[in-house]
Amino acid sequence: MTIRGWMMTGQGEPFEEGEIPFDPLPPGEALIEVAGCGVCHTDLSFLHFGVKTRAELPLVLGHEISGTVVEVGEGVDASLIGSPVLVPAVLPCGECDLCRSGNLRICRAQIMPGNDRHGGFASHVVVPSRYLCPVSEEILSGHELWELAVVADAISTPFQSVRLSGLTEGDLAIIVGTGGIGIHTVQVAAAIGAKVIALDIDDGKLEIASQHGADIVINSTDLDIKEVKGAIKGAVSTMGAPRTLWKIFETSGTKPGQELAFALLGFGGHLAVVGFTMEKLEIRLSNLMAFDATVRGNWGSDPTLYPDVLDWIASDRIAVKPFIERYPLDQINDVFGMAHEGKLAKRAVVVPGD
């Protein structure tokens, strides 16, 4: 069998199509025929913004993967063959001290497709089978398998971030950035029953956020931090939202967004850092002491949460279809070009064989 993939060969270089050597499957691993693979900001960071992959180049990127199991290695239940699955963006070992203590997402032996080994911008991908998430017929009655690829990061990561924040009904959730990650944070927070304020610099994205759960949207383009705080305080009064214990989610992955999110921390506040940037910030950590506030990062998602995410999708608490767009895999260089130039209105999912 031949695996064909589009490989990153160097920073800023076009992907090159090629054949990936395929040896017999190691024990515990599975061969997945890719149905779709989402294009994430992390992939752009590898290609354009100086972030290095852990595996050497050339490397097939892509970590938002859905597909069908076509072969399994020794020790894997053969009944898995033919199953539609999600491939977690972070695949922990399940055996180390971190995994046994419940910290699967930061397992030091973890495998991230498209970073530690070849990923999903290919016809097939080989991954550990342990945390593959089966997709039920119920879900597939309303969604095509390729559409669910974005669950592996764009949806599950903010889902976990909201869970970790302790957000509950009636709390105030402030989402900074309403792009491919932020819009799902808005949806999850709204589904919980929180009061939701969304901030962005794009009126189009804010309009979509208002249609999918944001109670109030604020365009921060021409506002300094003090003015943004004033706008939020005014919104809080209008909404009857709590004046303290705010849950703030930084999902823009930009320096201005992170600076703003940190500045919004107040008494008992919680800042969830979901977006990623290589840029550095100058902040006053003493704010955390003064406000008894917390800041927490969020690396990928614990794969044991994936079934919960699929349940939320099945019950229409999370919408997927309005936020994705399908492209043929062989157009991947064009897709990355559009993504790099900010021309994609929706999250691209590339599909082999189109």
Which domain CATH number covers 334?
3.90.180.10
What local confidence, expressed as pLDDT, does residue 22 receive?
81
Same domain, 306 and 164: no
Output the six-digit token pair for 297.
């990062």
**Domain that residue 87 falls in:** 3-153+301-351
Same domain, 145 and 26: yes
136-150 per-position pLDDT tens digit: 999 999 999 999 999
Close Cβ partners of 7 (under 8 Å, ≥ 6 residues apart):
15, 16, 17, 18, 57, 58, 59, 60
Same domain, 184 and 119: no
What local confidence, expressed as pLDDT, does residue 12 receive?
94
User: Residue 83's CB: how many other CB atoms inside 10 A?
Assistant: 18
Same domain, 43 and 75: yes
Same domain, 188 and 61: no
Same domain, 30 and 78: yes
Same domain, 180 and 288: yes
Same domain, 237 and 319: no
Secondary structure (3-state) at 306: helix
Same domain, 8 and 144: yes
What local confidence, expressed as pLDDT, does residue 46 receive?
96
Same domain, 282 and 342: no
What local confidence, expressed as pLDDT, does residue 331 receive?
98
What local confidence, expressed as pLDDT, does residue 204 receive?
95
Residues of the chain falling short of pLDDT 50: none
Same domain, 70 and 190: no
Helix axes 332-340, 41-48, angle to 10 degrees: 90
Which domain CATH number covers 239?
3.40.50.720
Same domain, 25 and 164: no
Out of 278, 297, 316, pick the residue that ends a domain.
297
Out of 297, 313, 329, pick the residue that ends a domain.
297
Return the beta strands (E) in 90-219 as ranges.
124-128, 133-134, 172-176, 195-200, 216-219
Domain count, the chain: 2
Report the C-alpha gap between 205 and 317 in whole angstroms. 19
Buried b (16+ CB within 10 A) or exposed e, 113-123: bbbbbbbbbbb
Out of 297, 319, 340, pick the residue that ends a domain.
297
Task: Name the DSSP letter for residue 106.
Answer: G
